[in-house]
Amino acid sequence: MVGVVKHGICQRVGYAAGVPDRWEPDEQLVAAVLAGSPRTMADLSAPDRCWLVAGLTLARLTAEDIADRMRCSLRLVRTIRAEDMTQVCLRMQEETEHFTDELRLARSEHKAALASVAAVTGERDRLRHQLDRLLDAHVVGAPACPKCGTPVAGYNAYQWRERTFCRECHRRRQSSYRAKARQ
């Protein structure tokens, strides 16, 4: 469907000759009216009226509020609300809102799943690294730390007051201390 503007009037053009024009809802019509658009019911086609009344009804506006906002009679709003097309539009908008909420939920669950996968992958890599260090310590013959199992030699050892300590154990103690301080 292509809209062609001629002399300031939007006309709908079909796909090919002989194909009747098809109406498509204007997704922004309800939002524009709620924002204070100067449109009136007289400016809209019959399907657009049904779409608008269904959207405003879904937005919890009463028939009186819709009539005031669209500068039309209360009877016209109630007549449009009673039409089958309006009921179809109302169900379509409700389903669209429902599916949007479900999509938002699925995206948040997907994001949480990705975060948990990243955490598990990080833990796996940390454990592999620790296993590699233990194997290196076993092959080299350096003494292993009794608490964490890492070799206490070279880069992983430091001395304080004539004692040798494991840097990995110190790092873990500092990490747990900072975590408790944040809470």
In this structure, the answer to whether residues 55 and 68 fall within a common structural domain is yes
Shared domain for 171 and 104, answered yes or no, is: yes
pLDDT at residue 90 is higher than 90 = yes
Segment 35-63 shows an average pLDDT of 93
Q: pTM score > 0.75 for this model? A: no
- Lowest mean pLDDT, pick from 6-10, 80-84, 132-136: 6-10
Domain boundary among 39, 71, 89: 89
113 with 64, same domain: the answer is no
Helix axes 46-58, 74-82, angle to 10 degrees: 90
Q: Do 126 and 151 lie in a common domain?
A: yes
Tokens encoding 29: 């019509």
Give the burial string for 150-172 (b: 16+ CB within 10 Å, else e).
bbbbeebbeeeeeeeebebbeee
Shared domain for 113 and 44, answered yes or no, is: no
Domain that includes residue 99, residue range: 93-182
Q: Which of 21, 39, 31, 27 is nearest to 89 (CA)?
A: 27
Choose the final residue of a domain: 55, 89, 123.
89
Name the DSSP letter for residue 103: H
**Total domains in the fold of the chain:** 2
Among 64, 89, 114, which residue terminates a domain?
A: 89
Reported as a single tens digit per residue, the pLDDT across 64-85 is 999 999 999 999 999 999 999 9
Same domain, 116 and 170: yes
CA angle 54, 51, 17 (to 5 degrees): 160
pLDDT band at 56 (very low <50, low <70, confident <90, very high): very high
Query: Is 82 in the same domain as 100?
Result: no
- Mean of pLDDT values over 85-109: 95
Query: Residue 94 CA to chain centroid, in angstroms?
Result: 19
Asked if 65 contacts 54 with a C-beta cutoff of 8 angstroms, the reply is no
CB count, 10 Å around CB of 77?
26
CA separation for the pair 98, 60 (Å, rounded): 16
97 and 84 within one domain? no
H-type helices in 9-45, by residue range? 29-34
Q: Verify that 102 and 159 share a domain, yes or no.
A: yes
Alpha-carbon gap, residue 53 to 81, rounded angstroms = 7
